[in-house]
Structure 1
Amino acid sequence: MRWVDAVNRVVGLFAMYLVFAMMGILLYSSFMNSFFIPPLWGLEMAQFLMVAYYMLGGAWSLQADDHVRMDLVYGRWSLRSRAIIDAVTVIFLLVYLVVLLYGGLSSTIYAFEYGERSYSSWRPYMAPIKVIMCIGITLMLLQALAIFFKDVATARGESLS
């Protein structure tokens, strides 16, 4: 679990800086659009960076407990009760992530086998961004498993942190 936390922290910090790269590309694209010929790749490359930012930063967000939670009664519960409820709800997240990873892997294999390209004028290969998506889903799956084991330990009165 410490290894998963450490990897997700490093990948999340890297992903955080992808916003600046995306802003630079969009600034360049808008400058070129205003004064010269707009690049074919600008908008789509910014979209790919946004996907990488979102997918690679998801596990770190989950680790840092920065996701949205409806706190109507949750804050009033004991630490043990919260851990039990979190352990149960993480199971649903794990099922969702496994299904998402299955679909992502089959789509990535298809992209490699057939040389899938985007339908835009730029026509980039889709396999690299699909690989990044699968890596992000895998990291989030591992982080959800780590959270599950921490919640189970907390529910049992132990500490794994």
Structure 2
Amino acid sequence: MKVESEIIQAKENRTLMEVVNKSIRKTIRSINYINEKMYIVIGVIIVFLSFMIFYDVLARYFFHKPTSFGFDTSIWLTVVMAFVGGGYSQLKNEHVRVDIFYEKFSDKGKSIVDLFTHLFIFLTVIPLVWWGGSHVLKLFEQGTVATSGLNISLWIKFLIVPFGGTLLGLQAFVTFYKDIYLIVTGRKYEEDK
């Protein structure tokens, strides 16, 4: 009787762990997918910026009629690329580090070092999302509009700060999970394809 109840309990625990594991894998795939597609957003912005700046230069120097939005838009879109690129860089493991030392570590050693790196990423991301989000809400409530360039609501322009912070934070969490997985199990986290 006791053995049967232990077997049933073990099966229930295994089933629960399988469900949790499946949910974690699905979440990781979703976060990776979103950040993977950000390079398309960045590419489209680069193409748009190229044409816009080309047009603005032509309009300014040949027709003496520069666009009113060119300068403001180019700065804003550059900021968008930087914030959207944070999560993508984390996904591809392309953030700056001192590789001369890092490359000499074992996979487990790299994961331990990366855990400390993630703490700094989280310390950066939390204010970006928290204060950036509260600033966006304040601008939205005030109805503040930009006085130069596009003349759009400022909350739209500043929305990229919490959005980019969220992308980076989620991707850092995924990497953090993978590092913990490697440290605990001794194996790299294998993603489902």
Asked if Structure 1 and Structure 2 have the same fold, meaning a TM-score greater than 0.5 normalized by the shorter chain, the answer is yes
Say which SS state the counterpart of residue 76 (structure 1) adopts: coil
Give per-residue Cα distances to partners, 1:3-22, cap 9 Å, x unaligned.
Answer: 10011101232223211111
In the alignment, which of 121, 124, 128 is matched to residue 100 of structure 1? Answer: 128
- Unaligned 5+ residue runs, structure 1? none
Q: Which amino acid aligns with 1:132?
A: I
Q: Which has the higher contact order (CA 8 A, sep 6+)?
A: 1
TM-score if structure 1 supplies the norm length?
0.92
Q: Which amino acid aligns with 1:7?
A: I
> In the superposition, relative to structure 1, how do residues 25 and 102 fare at CA in structure 2: closer, same or farther (>3 Å)?
same
Aligned to 1:26: 53
Say which SS state the counterpart of residue 73 (structure 1) adopts: helix
- Counterpart CA distance in 2 for 1:29 and 1:38 is 6
Q: Which amino acid aligns with 2:189?
A: L
Count residues with an aligned counterpart: 161
- Counterpart CA distance in 1 for 2:131 and 2:90 is 21
- Counterpart CA distance in 1 for 2:123 and 2:150 is 36
Is the 1:12–1:57 Cα contact (8 Å) retained in structure 2? yes
- Counterpart CA distance in 2 for 1:153 and 1:122 is 47
In the alignment, which of 121, 138, 142 is matched to residue 166 of structure 2? Answer: 138
- Counterpart CA distance in 1 for 2:165 and 2:127 is 10
- Counterpart CA distance in 2 for 1:58 and 1:122 is 25
Q: Which amino acid aligns with 1:126?
A: L
Aligned to 1:129: 157
Identity value in percent = 25
Is the 1:16–1:57 Cα contact (8 Å) retained in structure 2? no
Q: How do 1:55-134 and structure 2 match up within 5 A?
A: 55-120=83-148, 123-134=151-162
TM-score if structure 2 supplies the norm length?
0.78
Q: RMSD across aligned C-alpha pairs, in angstroms?
A: 1.5
- Counterpart CA distance in 2 for 1:21 and 1:82 is 39
